[in-house]
Amino acid sequence: TDDPTWWRDAVVYQVYPRSFADSDGDGIGDLRGLLDRVDYLQELGIDVVWLSPIYASPHDDNGYDISDYRAIDPAFGSLDDLDAVIAALHQRGMRLVMDLVVNHTSDEHPWFVESASSPSSEKRDWYWWRPPRAGFAPGELGAEPTNWGSFFSGSAWQLDEASGEYYLHLFSRKQPDLNWENPEVRAAIYDMMRWWLDRGIDGFRMDVINLISKDPALPDGVVAPGGLWGDGFPHYAAGPRIHEFLQEMHREVFEGRDRHYLTIGEMPGVTIDQARLFTDPRRRELDMVFQFEHVGLDHGPAGKWSPAPVDIVALKRSLASWQEGLADAGWNSLYWNNHDQPRVVSRFGDDGRYWFESATALATVLHLQRGTPFVYQGEELGMTNAPFVGIEQFRDIESLNYFAEAVEVLGQPRDEVLAGMRRASRDNARTPVHWSADPHGGFTTGSPWIDVHPDFARINAAAQRGRPGSVFEFYRALIALRHGLAVVVDGDFGMLEPEHPALFAFTRTLGAERLTVAANLSSEPIVMPFEPTGETVVANYPPGDRSILRPWEAIVTRTT
Ligand code: ISL
């Protein structure tokens, strides 16, 4: 009954609840805090809220380790609080997408507790249990069933002393991977998903959903020179049954309902060809995927922890290839930030002298592309990376495990490791949102679970709402433009000046209507190779000479 493509003109806002707004002073953000900010999201023009996990969890990975899919963690509130959030959003014409984490559960989930209780447990096969490698005793170095490394450092296998067998965990050892080969596992997940749809939510963002189909042979991976572990990725990413599983999920969970639910698959390493298959509506898999190509471009030879300055030509080439690759089949998600990525203004922009200009230039080139833009909490305020000094300020398990392995196992210099973490750690995105210049940025009246960025008195929502020339008002204008102009939603994308080292320029065309987007992604002026024509619809500088783009200047013009 409702439009199956309602999400095409939507803008999504991601809430990472721990760090969003704390209503009860325990230092952890919560659902009542979110409820209090629904009007703020409406003011910004948001259509959909994606809520990172709020389910019962031991919080080894901040809620991406779930111990009960049908309960709200008391740190975040109650099911009544969630119902109140859903109602408040729906009253305002907004929707709620929940995080779905079903590649793994917590090791404290009753399914895993039962599975681990004995090799003869009826749920043993719900997870990936394997004996030690032939010829090795349990726990012996090299006894792990495969040589795969975990995303969070160390082996991807954990020994269970009681049975002498190992279980697979691609992420933390407290996140055992579910065995999707087992039809009972899939049925239990689909049942849980239907339960949430029946409660009134509007869709799912599916965590690492391209990792659910593993090659059951579990072959060893290639070990990079100087590396400790093998790369299992080719054996579990977009595995042999991935499309079958997603089509089955679609059939079992979404088909036959009276409205369309939004589905977004998070897919590290996904290629354009795969994304076309995952998001082609005729195949009934997903509406869109999160791809990772553009957020990998600043990884140095040693990976994400030694980032290098991004090459703007490569960044443009990558984003344009996704625009072109999904132009006639499928759909793009558009994002710079989420809870796993450093803040974009610090990463690809200039968070010093050209803080406002670079935050808004980067926003312009993202929001004017074809696809569904995602805004990560605080991005609309231009929040910057955390200036953490000591290891004790970090909270993220990926970062802490990396530090331990790099410093203690590999003997790398502590200061260099910390310098990499300051650039790349996920905690950069996880410092609390700055609501005002009050203590702790108005995030909490208590003691925050992670340090608030000290610049909250300068960068905060109260200082920006309603202030022309603020990052917040600029985001509001970009979102309003998408809602007001069909060409932003539907127009064809055409790259301009692909080899220019600093100019990011493209057109969007729908019939006779054309937008020209031009942004200077550098701190030096650019002499324009072409002159934008037509009325200005968005700009981050006062009107000037159109033959020059000032540092980080962005301008969008329209002709009809
Ligand atoms: O952040 C990453 C590397 O720096 C990614 O490898 C990230 O772990 C990957 O994108 C998967 O992310 C998702 O699943 C993880 C969770 O920790 C992330 O927060 C989540 O977004 C495991 O559930």
Determine which residue's CA is closest to atom 4 belonging to ligand 1: 340
Residue 302 has a pLDDT of 82
User: Which of 66, 340, 421, 430 for mutating ligand 1's site (highest number of atoms within 8 Å of CB)?
Assistant: 340
Q: What percent of the chain has pLDDT over 70?
A: 100
- Helix, strand, coil percentages, rounded to 5, for the chain: 35, 20, 50
Residue 290 has a pLDDT of 98
Stretch 282-294: mean pLDDT, rounded? 98
pLDDT tens for 192-238 read: 999 999 999 999 999 999 999 999 999 999 999 888 999 999 999 99
Determine which residue's CA is closest to atom 2 belonging to ligand 1: 340
Q: What is the ipTM of this complex?
A: 0.96
Residue 226 has a pLDDT of 84
Residue corresponding to tokens 């020209």: 516
Does the pLDDT of residue 392 top 70, yes or no? yes
pLDDT tens for 457-499 read: 999 999 999 999 999 999 999 999 999 999 999 999 999 999 9
Atom of ligand 1 nearest to the CA of 61: 17
HSE-up (13 A, CA, CB side) for residue 123: 13
Query: DSSP letters of 172-223?
Result: -TTSPBB-TTSHHHHHHHHHHHHHHHHHT--EEEETTGGGS---TT----EE
Domains parsed from the chain with CATH numbers: 110-168 (3.90.400.10), 485-559 (2.60.40.1180)
Number of CB atoms found within 10 A of residue 463's CB? 17
CA distance 42 to 242: 36
Active site includes 266? yes
Residue 57 has a pLDDT of 98
- In 3D space, the residue among 532, 480, 489, 481 whose CA is nearest the CA of residue 510 turns out to be 489
Stretch 270-275: mean pLDDT, rounded? 98
Residue 527 has a pLDDT of 98
CA distance 206 to 341: 17
**Is 64's C-beta closer than 6 angstroms to any atom of ligand 1?**
yes
Stretch 91-118: mean pLDDT, rounded? 98
**Is 233's C-beta closer than 6 angstroms to any atom of ligand 1?**
no
Determine which residue's CA is closest to atom 16 belonging to ligand 1: 64
E strand intervals along 341-392 = 372-376
Q: How far is the CA of 195 from the centre of ligand 1 (A)?
A: 25
**Is 554's C-beta closer than 6 angstroms to any atom of ligand 1?**
no
**Is 13's C-beta closer than 6 angstroms to any atom of ligand 1?**
no
Determine which residue's CA is closest to atom 3 belonging to ligand 1: 340
**Is 31's C-beta closer than 6 angstroms to any atom of ligand 1?**
no
Residue 2 has a pLDDT of 78
| Beta-bridge mates of residue 551 | none
Q: How far is the CA of 210 from the centre of ligand 1 (A)?
A: 12
Q: Active-site residue among 60, 81, 177, 207?
A: 207
Does the pLDDT of residue 1 top 90, yes or no? no
**Is 151's C-beta closer than 6 angstroms to any atom of ligand 1?**
yes
**Amino acid of residue 270:** V
**Is 426's C-beta closer than 6 angstroms to any atom of ligand 1?**
yes
Q: How far is the CA of 45 from the centre of ligand 1 (A)?
A: 28
As a whole number, the mean pLDDT across the chain is: 97
Determine which residue's CA is closest to atom 20 belonging to ligand 1: 207
Active site includes 207? yes
Write down the pTM of the prediction.
0.98
**Is 169's C-beta closer than 6 angstroms to any atom of ligand 1?**
no
Residue 159 has a pLDDT of 98
Q: How far is the CA of 505 from the centre of ligand 1 (A)?
A: 31
